[in-house]
Amino acid sequence: SIRDDKCPQRSGYNRNEYRYGNGSASIVDFKILNSEMEEIVGIRSKEVFLVRCRVIFDEDVKRPIFGITLKTKDGIELYGTNTLLKRTEIGEKRKGDDIWIEYRLRGNLQPGDYLISVGVASFDGGMVVPLDRRYDLATLSVLPGDESFGLVNLEGEIRIFDTI
């Protein structure tokens, strides 16, 4: 499936990605989409965006796990989740299965460039086995959404009272 890899052709692809796994499955494409389902490379702070990944299975996998991580360019992990943590039952995947996984995220981030990592693993004998992990696969740019500062945008509000 590596020969079918479309990731390098996508806008936002990071050619300095780090990739590893045993090859039982391959992440061969990705898309970053806005809420109108348009491909994008950037969002405004607080906007919802989707990350879709195409996975082809080169072997049968009983309990696949799909995950995503978002971090700063300095390597600080800001958010990560996966189907094991979310207790999402996927079911067995067979050799030749060709699927898309979708992650829906709200970009509560401050302006800057962030890195998206994705992966597929299996849960076998109590151990997580990496099948294909693509660290820093893509860059996402965030534009200002309001007047605030820091790493994340917590959508803070300020209220003033004479007395409580």
Does residue 163 carry a pLDDT above 90? no
- In terms of C-beta distances under 8 Å and separation of at least 24 residues, what long-range contacts does 154-163 make, across chains too? 154/108, 155/46, 155/108
Give the pLDDT score at 2: 58
| pLDDT (average), residues 56-85 | 96
The pLDDT-based confidence of 108 (bands split at 50, 70, 90) is very high
The pLDDT-based confidence of 1 (bands split at 50, 70, 90) is very low
Does residue 143 carry a pLDDT above 60? yes
Question: Any bridge partners for residue 19, and if so which?
Answer: 134
The pLDDT-based confidence of 3 (bands split at 50, 70, 90) is low
Q: How far apart are CA 65 and CA 82, in angstroms?
A: 7
The pLDDT-based confidence of 19 (bands split at 50, 70, 90) is very high
| pLDDT (average), residues 54-63 | 95
CB 155 within 8 A of CB 120: no
Question: Any bridge partners for residue 98, and if so which?
Answer: 56
Does residue 34 carry a pLDDT above 70? yes
User: 7 — phi, psi (to 5°)?
Assistant: -55, -45
